[in-house]
Chains A and B, each alone.
Chain A
């Protein structure tokens, strides 16, 4: 029986090539998109699932409320003694480990490598499922000078990787070479791990660690804890916060911002933006990808349904006959579903082939790392099969169900009436266009927002300033570099700061928040330290006062503030005001800078205080250049930097590149959406084309009679086009408010954003109508031009 069904299905496909092709190509492209998008989403969600204790491991974070207003701020680092306190005083804490990652130079003999180094505690390997191939668990980190490296790193550093254990290496920690010994070798880190390292060293071996040891008033490192299986996250958080008054009261009194402890589960490390290991992907994006694939596949399914129903009209006699020969409804259903299934399988094959071909392009375009190895996962395969089955059931099942329930006699007489007034078909077409229009207008608005971001003046120059990540260059190297740069004809001026602008080649961004009391009010502020001549170099405007300058010699006790801070001080004359910043000292305001966007446009401008840095504090060198060839100049600076600091890992970048990197997520997403929207439109139009082919075929006789009666070609084209255009118009009316709503929500992520322009819907609507008209006309003009006698004679 099944063979017979398949035979019929196959012959039917060959007979109706247009429909087979539309379905095959549409469904194939949609399945390809779904495959790639859902693998992307799955990949995000599958992060860190390989850790056996993933349900018991948490990162402790601090949630700070800012300046009495409603916005909160989450910071990662906690005070050093907290680990011991937590372990001693909260029952059910099994292990704790600090963790901080740096890219550090590592020396083996005369060779220097840059390795991604995590400083952690001995418990690290007890907590996480990073199996050791050499060495046993925490024994590998028993001594302070022991490190664990990955297999890949071992292969890179040593000629014989297996002999690495016991070998000596040196790590450049905070500018000094320190000797270490390899204590163990770990398996390479799985692709889907948030925690990444080439090397793990003991956090206690960081010279800086001794400075903060035992201090409750400085927060330096993120802390991870593993709880006993029975202990819940909520109860742990509660007990954690109960510790706070005892240990932090003094620090808070002295100016530390008050906060609440929160915990983030290992399961959320990747997608929670507050986690130390946040992967940079907004946690809603995987969901959006799933939604996007659902939309695309539903458009393809709608084509499938409309075409199957229309096609089956011509087969009503066959169905009636089969029933009279003794076919159950179920068997008829099965037959028609099988036909769809066959087509879907072909589409899946096509889609998979397509996916294989565009995968490299997809990965590059959207900065993804999808690999087909993911398909070795039984769960993924099972998921794909189940979803595929559901799709065939949706696409083929509905028409098959409709067909199989028809009464035998009406079928035999060829009077099948599945689509009364074409309501089902028309509503489905409306749905398709709603989706297409929504995708299109959302893309247009996202694109506008990104454009706005690109062009918005930030309050400093972005095109002429190069930023050099200092990695761990020593102050001497820094001085040398400044010296050399000043001899450069292209260089206008040079300064430096603790924080970068945007995201540079090192991928870091961070900030420092401090609280202080001023005239009886508690204030919080972002705090930065910078070098002399900062505002001038960055092209910032002074509202009043002056920049840091060597000429005064007293600037180590001076600060700059931004306008927002000045407003919060609520003093008549901010200049000369003394601010007691506790551990940072009692400092005098010497300048007020016009507000500038030191953080992303997603945030509003926070209060900011800028102090003068000691050379050790500086993280980035800023070079303002005057050049007609920015690329060449940047190359020259890069070469100079490499010469001055051979250990440099990250290269200089212009701030405008850094800005772009900061919004990369949005860029990637808008590109994805744009591709999705394009695909949706194409599939919708293919469906619309095929449906018009069928509809005009059904009305052939009517058209011929009208022509014989003297109707003009244009009036017939109008007649055929009008019905469908109404559908498109309805779709636009439905889609516009929905897109407006979605985009309003999305724009909320940005403190600074465009307002949704009303005309965008008119433009998108006009484009949709234009595309629809062209598609329909392809067929209807042909029908209108055809010789009426021919089709009348055939009747």
Chain B
């Protein structure tokens, strides 16, 4: 599903280069639940952004479902964002001016899903996450855990193949974190969604079926 070959990322610093990632080779198969770990500044987020096509690698090849995507044009990349890749962020990133319902609906609007289908899909997700009662509230009326729940609901409503999550529980209590992790596990097992998460917590990492250790831009498995 995700194939990274010799992925390198650097930023120019003065006359030289500051390498963040160096010669990363990594394959993630369909249906895997991978946790990326490593010390702060080791390049975890950068790697995830590259996988999510939010950032371009400086060197190397990236194949998504067998297709070269590292030098893809804006339009095609956006299509992948609409259909195949869902994001969950540490800082929730909900749109403050939209209600829970409307936040979840937004990706479907970009996908041009018909109104009736939007309605039923959002209703399904709300139901599944037990947040039907909250659907007309605005993000600032929710707790952190609830907000992240909405964030995940929004990530899966477009039925992506992969969910990329950057410290999804970073701002949450451990109880809240646990339920989020269980949700991920369920999505992975029942819905066969490939999940890649970045986490600092060993406990959370064990929910996945593979752990990748990142150190100074290199993978230590």
**Which residues A20-43 have CB closer than 8 A to chain B?**
none
Contact with B along A1-25 (1 / 0, CB 8 A): 1001001100110010000000000
Q: CA of A666 to CA of B127 in the docked complex: distance in angstroms?
A: 73
Q: CA of A318 to CA of B74 in the docked complex: distance in angstroms?
A: 19
B98 touches A326 (CB 8 A): no
Identify which of A12, A317, A326 contacts B81 (C-beta below 8 A): A326
**Which residues B87-117 have CB closer than 8 A to chain A?**
87, 89, 91, 93, 95-98, 102, 105-107, 109-111
Contact with B along A379-411 (1 / 0, CB 8 A): 000000000000000000000000000001100
Closest-CB distance, B122 to chain A (whole angstroms):
13
A8 touches B109 (CB 8 A): no
Query: Given A324-B54, A327-B78, A328-B78, A1 and B109 touching (CB < 8 A)?
Result: yes
A324 touches B81 (CB 8 A): yes
A726 within 8 A of B: no
Q: CA of A434 to CA of B97 in the docked complex: distance in angstroms?
A: 38
A412 touches B54 (CB 8 A): yes
Closest-CB distance, B167 to chain A (whole angstroms):
13
Identify which of B54, B105, B106, B109 contacts A409 (C-beta below 8 A): B54
Chain B interface residues toward A at CB < 8 A? 49, 52, 54-55, 74-75, 78-79, 81-83, 87, 89, 91, 93, 95-98, 102, 105-107, 109-111, 154, 158
A331 within 8 A of B: yes
Q: CA of A639 to CA of B215 in the docked complex: distance in angstroms?
A: 107
Query: Given A8-B98, A325-B81, A326-B81, A409 and B55 touching (CB < 8 A)?
Result: yes
Closest-CB distance, B173 to chain A (whole angstroms):
23
Q: CA of A408 to CA of B93 in the docked complex: distance in angstroms?
A: 13
A329 within 8 A of B: yes
A412 touches B102 (CB 8 A): no
Task: Tell me the dominant secondary structure on chain A's binding face.
Answer: helix
A318 touches B96 (CB 8 A): yes
Identify which of B74, B91, B110 contacts A331 (C-beta below 8 A): B110
Closest-CB distance, B10 to chain A (whole angstroms):
16
17 intermolecular pairs with C-beta atoms under 8 Å apart: A7-B97, A11-B98, A15-B97, A317-B91, A321-B89, A322-B95, A323-B81, A324-B52, A325-B106, A325-B154, A326-B79, A326-B82, A326-B107, A326-B111, A327-B110, A329-B74, A412-B93
Q: CA of A324 to CA of B96 in the docked complex: distance in angstroms?
A: 16
Query: A residues within 8 A CB of B75?
Result: 328
Query: A residues within 8 A CB of B97?
Result: 7-8, 11-12, 15, 318
Closest-CB distance, A342 to chain B (whole angstroms):
13
**Which residues A403-431 have CB closer than 8 A to chain B?**
408-409, 412
Query: B residues within 8 A CB of A320?
Result: 93
Q: CA of A321 to CA of B154 in the docked complex: distance in angstroms?
A: 11
The residue of chain B having its C-beta at the shortest distance from the C-beta of A5 within the complex is B109
Closest-CB distance, A194 to chain B (whole angstroms):
56
A325 touches B96 (CB 8 A): no
Contact with B along A300-341 (1 / 0, CB 8 A): 000000000000000001101111111111010000000000
Q: CA of A15 to CA of B98 in the docked complex: distance in angstroms?
A: 12
The residue of chain A having its C-beta at the shortest distance from the C-beta of B84 within the complex is A326
Query: B residues within 8 A CB of A326?
Result: 78-79, 81-83, 107, 110-111, 158
B102 touches A4 (CB 8 A): yes
Closest-CB distance, A281 to chain B (whole angstroms):
50
A409 touches B96 (CB 8 A): no
The residue of chain A having its C-beta at the shortest distance from the C-beta of B46 within the complex is A409
Query: Given A331-B110, A412-B93, A7 and B98 touching (CB < 8 A)?
Result: yes
The residue of chain B having its C-beta at the shortest distance from the C-beta of A3 within the complex is B109
Closest-CB distance, A138 to chain B (whole angstroms):
68
Query: A residues within 8 A CB of B87?
Result: 324-325
Closest-CB distance, A322 to chain B (whole angstroms):
7
Closest-CB distance, B37 to chain A (whole angstroms):
21
Closest-CB distance, B78 to chain A (whole angstroms):
5
Closest-CB distance, B16 to chain A (whole angstroms):
23
Closest-CB distance, A657 to chain B (whole angstroms):
62
- Counting chain B CB atoms within 10 Å of each CB, the highest count among A1, A8, A317, A326 belongs to A326
Q: CA of A15 to CA of B105 in the docked complex: distance in angstroms?
A: 22
B55 touches A325 (CB 8 A): no
Query: A residues within 8 A CB of B102?
Result: 4, 7
The residue of chain B having its C-beta at the shortest distance from the C-beta of A15 within the complex is B97
Q: CA of A324 to CA of B87 in the docked complex: distance in angstroms?
A: 8
The residue of chain B having its C-beta at the shortest distance from the C-beta of A327 within the complex is B110
Identify which of A318, A408, A412 contacts B95 (C-beta below 8 A): A318
Query: B residues within 8 A CB of A408?
Result: 54
The residue of chain A having its C-beta at the shortest distance from the C-beta of B164 within the complex is A324
Q: CA of A326 to CA of B113 in the docked complex: distance in angstroms?
A: 13
Closest-CB distance, B56 to chain A (whole angstroms):
10
Q: CA of A318 to CA of B79 in the docked complex: distance in angstroms?
A: 19
Q: CA of A15 to CA of B95 in the docked complex: distance in angstroms?
A: 13
Q: CA of A740 to CA of B1 in the docked complex: distance in angstroms?
A: 71
B82 touches A325 (CB 8 A): yes
Query: B residues within 8 A CB of A318?
Result: 95-97
A317 touches B93 (CB 8 A): yes
Query: Given A325-B82, A326-B110, A409 and B95 touching (CB < 8 A)?
Result: no
Query: B residues within 8 A CB of A4?
Result: 98, 102, 105-106, 109
Closest-CB distance, A37 to chain B (whole angstroms):
37
- Counting chain B CB atoms within 10 Å of each CB, the highest count among A1, A12, A323, A324 belongs to A324
